[in-house]
């Protein structure tokens, strides 16, 4: 019995101390939160064993457990402090970064930025929320800035002598990319460097591309100028043929006179660097035929290398072939002048014969010498065509049409400038 009593008293002594005596450290205040405790049997002390305390944290704070219990070990079942909510660590955007006001804690505001040459795609800022989630995702940094390129600055270029173009050279510009520095292509719109540009203003441009497809452009101009002299005009009763553009530096203009006219002044003039024409003014004056010479050879010398001669001989002015031929040639006078042909008439018999070059009358003796020199009969109608070298080219014992005559004349070898002059003169005749 004594042993039993001793054991009972020990239990009686311990039990009241556990049940009614404060056991865990009291929870009077929770920072950033509130606490509400209740003892197991409604006792006065709120920290005896078995006491339960409910913990409530302010928004943005959390605790390990919403309820803690005072255990026999005199410790609360878990940590009851309200700790600030923390969001997961943000990833760093490629080619960029971010700055936060309070790290990854609640209400921390993070602002993203990109490296030079890149732009943000997405939300610029994000905030840590009470649910431990960020208000926006991490944006990306994309290459948005176009590359830059600077075009050459070219001065006006002058055409070379005798040309209407100029060779223009420049160095191909290099583009610069502000992002990753890598360019994929450079495209020129217009003629490339070292090309020949015609007179005038030419607009060109370069376009450069980066890996993101962005492009940058620049524009420049090439102006080619041509030095030009004052405009020349063909002389009266003459023709002008110019090479190149006719009035540019280095151009040459040559002159010829129409039938019955002689050239005075410069037969060719060149546009010089100082924009003046070389030589002197060109004129075409009526051909002065001297019929006061003693011999037929001296008369023909005046036409040598200048004119072709068509000599028409008839025994009398009443000859029907003569009348028909002269009527035919009157309608073809423009064609004769075009081909540099002068008509000489020798009509009658010596000493009553008459020689005539248009309105100029030849002395009878000179007309007789002409017949004898060219072996022309006085008794019948005859025509003789003499070229510029004084060679007897064709004889006609009967009248011919202008077309037949011109066909024979045009078979003579012509220089290139004569062909051009004939073409130009032909247009004048038709007009």
Tens-place pLDDT, residues 190-214: 999 999 999 999 999 999 999 888 9
The domains found in the chain, sorted by start residue, are: 33-84 (2.10.70.10), 96-143 (2.10.70.10), 149-225 (2.60.40), 238-286 (2.10.70.10), 296-421 (3.40.30.10)
Helix, strand or coil, per DSSP, at residue 11: helix
Spatial separation of the C-alpha atoms in residues 384 and 284, rounded to whole Å: 28
Range of weakest confidence among 46-50, 160-164, 415-419: 415-419
Average pLDDT over residues 47-53: 91
Residue 427, pLDDT above cutoff 60: no
Give which of 116, 115, 107, 3 is closest to 59, Cα–Cα. 107
How far is CA 252 from each of CA 168, 228, 271, rounded to the nearest angstrom? 25, 12, 7
Confidence at residue 23, expressed as pLDDT on a 0 to 100 scale: 87
Average pLDDT over residues 292-313: 90
Burial profile 140-149: b = 16 or more Cβ within 10 angstroms, e = fewer: bbbbebbbeb
Residue 14, pLDDT above cutoff 70: no
Q: Which residue has the higher pLDDT, 227 or 15?
A: 227
Residue 16, pLDDT above cutoff 60: no
Average pLDDT over residues 153-162: 92
Confidence at residue 430, expressed as pLDDT on a 0 to 100 scale: 53
């Amino acid at each position: 019995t004594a042993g039993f009593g001793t054991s009972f008293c020990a239990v009686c002594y311990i039990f009241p101390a556990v049940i009614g005596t404060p056991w865990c450290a009291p929870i009077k205040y929770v920072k950033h939160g509130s606490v509400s405790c209740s003892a197991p049997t409604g006792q006065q002390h709120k920290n005896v064993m078995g006491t339960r305390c409910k913990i409530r944290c302010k928004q943005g704070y959390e605790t390990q457990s919403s309820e803690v219990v005072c255990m026999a070990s005199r410790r609360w079942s878990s940590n009851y402090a309200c700790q600030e909510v923390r969001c997961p660590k943000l990833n760093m955007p490629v080619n960029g970064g971010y700055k936060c006001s309070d790290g990854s804690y609640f209400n921390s505001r993070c602002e993203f930025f990109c490296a030079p040459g890149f732009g943000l795609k997405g939300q610029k800022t994000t905030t840590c929320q009470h649910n431990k989630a960020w208000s926006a995702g991490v944006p990306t940094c994309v290459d948005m800035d176009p590359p830059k390129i600077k075009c050459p600055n070219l001065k006006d270029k002058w055409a070379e002598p005798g040309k209407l173009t100029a060779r223009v050279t420049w160095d191909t510009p290099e583009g610069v990319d502000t992002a990753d520095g890598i360019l994929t292509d450079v495209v020129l719109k217009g003629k490339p460097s070292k090309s020949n540009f015609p007179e005038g203003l030419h607009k060109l441009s370069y376009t450069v591309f980066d890996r993101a497809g962005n492009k940058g452009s620049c524009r420049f101009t090439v102006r080619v100028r041509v030095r030009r002299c004052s405009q020349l005009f063909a002389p009266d009763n003459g023709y002008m043929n110019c090479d190149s553009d006719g009035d540019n530096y280095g151009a040459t203009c040559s002159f010829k006179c129409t039938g019955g006219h002689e050239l005075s002044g410069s037969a060719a003039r060149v546009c010089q660097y100082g924009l003046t024409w070389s030589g002197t003014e060109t004129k075409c004056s009526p051909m002065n035929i001297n019929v006061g010479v003693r011999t037929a050879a001296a008369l023909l010398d005046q036409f040598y290398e200048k004119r072709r001669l068509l000599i028409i001989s008839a025994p009398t002015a009443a000859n029907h072939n003569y009348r028909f031929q002269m009527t035919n040639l009157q309608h073809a006078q423009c064609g004769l002048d075009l081909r540099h042909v002068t008509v000489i008439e020798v009509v009658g018999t010596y000493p009553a014969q008459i020689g005539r070059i248009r309105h100029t009358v030849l002395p009878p003796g000179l007309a007789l010498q002409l017949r004898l020199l060219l072996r022309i009969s006085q008794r019948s109608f005859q025509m003789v065509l003499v070229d510029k070298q004084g060679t007897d080219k064709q004889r006609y014992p009967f009248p011919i049409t202008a077309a037949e005559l011109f066909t024979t004349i045009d078979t003579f070898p012509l220089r290139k400038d004569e062909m051009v002059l004939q073409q130009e003169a032909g247009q004048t005749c038709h007009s």
